[in-house]
Amino acid sequence: MESAMCMAGSYDSREGAQNDYHDGRGRLAFHEELVRELLSRTKQRQPAGLRRLALLGMLGLFGLSRATPAAAQEVRCSDYIGLDRTQRAYLAYGYLEGVQGALDKEGTDILVPPSDPRHPIWWVLPSGLPEKPFIGLAEKVDAYCQVPANRPETLLRAFLAQSVHNEGWPWLGASTFKKESASWKNFLGGKETSLSCPDYLANPELTRQAIVYGYYLGTEALRIRLGRSASTPTVWPPSPLGPQDVRLDIDRRCQQDKGGTVRAMLSLSTTELSGRKP
């Protein structure tokens, strides 16, 4: 694999504020050797957890048959812990991309930078994540789901349970500082922080589906926390289109644009599919 996958937190920080997604150089790197390890391990075998999910009919809930958003919300903690570490990490990566995608298309101004505890991300993300935030997020969700009492919980609830804030309201409104407000939506960074199309396509189908499913969960998490009655159509296509439809479209786009990124393809795909009749 030629390129490294990076996760980033590139934004202005307040003096003295520590941002869990920032390494002091504008990005959090997902090092090339770890990506190579994850990809090679995924290619070598189909994880036992995924085989079990297939046997249990869970493929439909991950969007590989006729899953709708309503059905996708029914994936449980008990299903998540059946995945191996690689699959959980990629699903968490998709979740972070989904939060970023929803923020990018949020119509209301963000009044504080991501380093501020009143920023919307802290209503859908935990603090204290390690250098590779999506791996840390996956581990936190896994620890939550391993508790027997939590296993019937939906996966969306499990992710939301990791949030810094579960009450209160983020600082949103009308800002006269439009440039700053627009930049404050970005907590992951630039193009180099997203999985490239070649790296995405190098993964098995179900891994790619896990990324897209995680993206759906991230958009849905922010929708709930911001009190929206329904997602902005361009954030996630309306029912009955589901994760499978989006994943197939991302596959097609990445095959046509090898220089693209998953983040860019997801943004374009969800916007285009929103205007398409199912």
Distances (CA, A) of 88 to 38, 47, 135: 11, 11, 8
pLDDT-flagged residues of the chain (< 50)? 1-66, 277-278
Kindly report, residue by residue over 185-211, the tens digit of the pLDDT: 888 888 888 999 999 999 999 899 999
Question: Residues 6 or more apart from 269 whose CB is under 8 A from it?
Answer: 246, 249, 250, 253
- Where does residue 117 rank: exposed (0-12), middle (13-18), buried (19+ CB within 10 A)? middle
CA distance 257 to 216: 22
CA distance 36 to 25: 23
Choose among 85, 76, 212, 186: nearest CA to 137: 85
- What are 95's two structure tokens? 């979740």
pLDDT at 90: 94
The rounded Cα 131 to chain-centroid distance in angstroms is 17
CA distance 230 to 228: 5
Question: Residues 6 or more apart from 117 whose CB is under 8 A from it?
Answer: 164, 165
pLDDT at 3: 37
| Packing angle, helices 243-256 and 205-225, rounded to 10 | 120
Q: Rounded to two decimals, what is the model's pTM?
A: 0.77
From the CB of residue 56, how many other CB atoms can be counted at a distance below 10 Å?
12
Question: Residues 6 or more apart from 246 whose CB is under 8 A from it?
Answer: 63, 212, 215, 216, 236, 237, 266, 269, 270, 273
